[in-house]
Amino acid sequence: MILLEADQIRVALAGRPVVNGVGLRVAAGQMLALLGPNGAGKTTLLAALAGLRPFQGEIRIQGRSLARLNRRERARALAYLPQGQTAHWPLTVRRLVELGRLPHQAPWHPPAAADRLAVASALERTGIAALAERPFDTLSGGERARALLARVLAVEAPLVLADEPVASLDPYHQLRVMELLRDHADTGAAVIIVLHDLTLAARFCDELVLLRDGRLVASGATESVLTTHHLADTYRVTALQGEYESQRYVLPWQRHSRDREHPG
Amino acid sequence: MTASTDSQRYRRISLGLAMLLVGLTVAGLLLGSLPLNPWQTLLHLIDGDPRLAIIVLEIRLPRVLLGLLVGTSLGLSGAALQGLLRNPLAEPGILGVSASAGLGAVLALYFGLARVTVWALPSCALLGALLATVILALLAARDSNPLSLILAGVAVSSLAIALTSLALNLAPNPLALSEMVLWLLGSLRDRGLSDVALAIPFMAVGWALLLSAGRELDALTLGEDAARSLGVGIGWLHARVIGGTALTVGAATAVTGTVGFVGLIAPHLLRPWLGYQPSRILLPAALTGAALLAAADLAVRLIPTRQELMLGVVTALLGVPFFIHLLLYTRRTAP
């Protein structure tokens, strides 16, 4: 079942085209990586898919046009984790995760049994149940990442959009977060994730979408997307590639010496 | 601390504050600058002594009621604004609403309108608050970035203060000057039930707007994009909090003059006990604001000074050291 389908998406920020005619689709159980160098338009595209930026083109979620969904319907259909997400007030972890239940709660009503269950399950799955009463600002970086991910999982939306959720995490927590998202996809959700780590993308994702300057360069399976040619063309690097236990790894190794003139 | 003891604590603190307010109200009615024995006052009041009835019901009751209403408004709007702007140093004055209401009142005094009818001064003050809100909305409409809103508020506030100074500068005579200056200092003295009646409708609508924003302010903890992804309408949220602040603080300033720092302090007094979740601070901050103002007004009346101290002076004198402590403390704990 296709959970999200986007056609000919164009997004302009301050009059400048940032995403230019990109299309993608992701099915239930799938994990899709948005790749590309800095400034390629990944974050803007993801925000547009979440309904947070004005766009041209068509985005359908479970067959329904995103533009037709009201705020609450959209909030239940997709959970969004912004880049560099943090908490402005040091809420306790439990209170933070409870925010994910907002789309399901009627105003002025205390959390229902389903809300408490969803929060408990999200805390359990991310392994932070023991930290539930700790203020957010007392957590380590890895614990914070898991708490913010638990907030996203607590929405229990069929679609998860995560913008660089592993940035600035140690290798252990990078793997942990990727495994959590992979597990979530395996339970029937669809996950779209912005990544810079090509090996994580190759190992954990079913589908890769490679962008440059707001345009789609390639999409599909790892072998067809992370080719020597594409890596040179988009990231301007040469990478070591190989396989370990039948899983692919991609290690950016050498920068191309001449800087390409950047348009705009 | 589990979720259930958490809400128990919330209820206990709210209940405690409500009881404190009842105590302060009774004290405000029975105690005052006239050296009357509170117990005798109560007994005479029950007997139906007409002179005491006048003192208690016509002088002290409006004063106490206004103190509670204004304190509630300042505490509630302070808590809501700190949530909206995600800034612990935000307070109702930051939007320039109180300065503009002050300007309206000063102009009413300057042009002598205040002598025509008792409604003139508070009406002009409300008009000032309304005008400030419109300018603020126009300046901040382009984006909902907290910084833009704060800068717009600073601009509105500076303009209102400059125009107020101009009015003081050009004051026709020393008496008018002292009238305007004293009014700006904020006081609950010599207010009547007509002031209460004028303020209540605006405040009630404002309170409802502010109290309705709780859960959405919680969501803003995650930043604007994440809050929107959770179904929060950011524009509508801004409109409610700014509109609610304008109505409550505009009405409060219209009847008492500028009373600072209550809106800043009230939420901070509660956070060590209730945590940082904006929705859980709103109601207790309203109660705390009311208690602070009732206590400050009681102090103003009971402290024997040559001339009665102005309420705004007392709250600022208490507030500034707290503000400095807060600045130092937030700098220490900033990441």
More confident call, B140 vs A72: A72
| pLDDT confidence of residue A261 | 53
Q: Give the confidence band of B333 by pLDDT, cuts at 50, 70, 90.
A: very low
Cβ–Cβ gap A75/B1 under 8 Å: no
Of B142 and A30, more confident: A30
- Mean residue pLDDT of chain A comes to 93
Q: From the CA of A90, how many Å to the nearest CA of chain B?
A: 6
Which of B272, B255, B289 is CA-nearest to residue B92?
Answer: B289
Which of B202, B215, B206, B328 shows the shortest CA–CA distance to B281?
B215
**How many contacts does A have with B, using Cβ atoms within 8 A?**
84
Q: How far apart are CA A134 and CA B2, in angstroms?
A: 11
What's the confidence (pLDDT) of residue B332? Answer: 47
Report in angstroms the alpha-carbon separations of A228 from A222, A232, A233, A234, A251.
Answer: 12, 6, 9, 10, 12
In angstroms, the separation between the Cα of residue A98 and the nearest Cα of chain B is 10
Q: Flag if B277 and A89 touch (Cβ within 8 Å).
A: yes
Q: Per this entry, what is the length of chain A?
A: 264
Per-residue confidence (pLDDT) for residue A262, from 0 to 100 = 52
Record: contact B275-A88, CB cut-off 8 A: no
pLDDT at position B114 is: 80
> Which string of b and e fits B285-313 if b means at least 16 CB within 10 Å?
bbbbbbbbbbbbbbebbeeeeeeebbbbb
Res. B334 pLDDT band, cuts 50 70 90: very low
pLDDT at B43: 74
What are the tens digits of pLDDT across the range B206-263? 999 999 999 999 999 999 999 999 999 998 999 899 999 999 999 999 899 888 889 9
Kindly tell me the burial class for residue A182, based on how many C-beta atoms sit within 10 Å of its own C-beta (0-12, 13-18, 19 or more): middle
Task: State whether residue B201 sits within 8 Å of chain A by CB.
Answer: no
Helix, strand, or coil (residue A240): strand
Centre a 10 Å sphere on the Cβ of residue A15 and count the other Cβ atoms it contains.
5
The CA-to-CA distance between both ends of chain B, in Å, stands at 25
Note the pLDDT tens digit of each residue in B39-72.
777 777 777 777 777 777 788 899 999 999 999 9
**Which residues, listed in sequence order, are joined to residue A92 by a DSSP beta bridge?**
A135
Comparing CA positions, the residue from B247, B132, B239 lying closest to residue B201 is: B247
Tokens of B208: 């409802």
Q: Would you call A137 and B218 a contact, using CB atoms and an 8 Å cutoff?
A: no
User: A75: which chain B residues are within 8 Å (Cβ-Cβ)?
Assistant: 229-231
Residue A125: name the closest of A160, A91, A163, A90 by CA: A160
Tokens 């998860």 — which residue? Answer: A160
The proportion of chain A whose per-residue pLDDT surpasses 70, expressed as a percent, equals 97
ipTM: 0.92
Query: From the list B86, B212, B221, which residue is nearest A91 (CB)?
Result: B221
- Alpha-carbon Rg for chain B, nearest whole angstrom, is 20
Mean pLDDT of all residues in chain B? 86
Q: Indicate the DSSP class of residue A138.
A: G
Amino acid at A198: L
Q: Residue A42 pLDDT more than 50? A: yes
Place of tokens 């809100």: B133
Q: Which residues of A touch B236 (CB under 8 A)?
A: none
Q: What is the pLDDT of residues B178-201, one digit of tens each?
A: 888 888 888 888 888 888 998 999
Q: Which of B229, B330, B332 to mutate to test the interface with A (most CBs of A within 10 A)?
A: B229
* Nearest-neighbour CA in chain A from B86: distance (Å): 6
pLDDT tens-digit map of B75-132? 999 999 999 999 888 888 888 888 999 999 999 989 888 888 878 888 899 999 989 9
| pLDDT value, residue B4 | 59
Tell me which chain A residues have a C-beta less than 8 angstroms from the C-beta of B233: 71
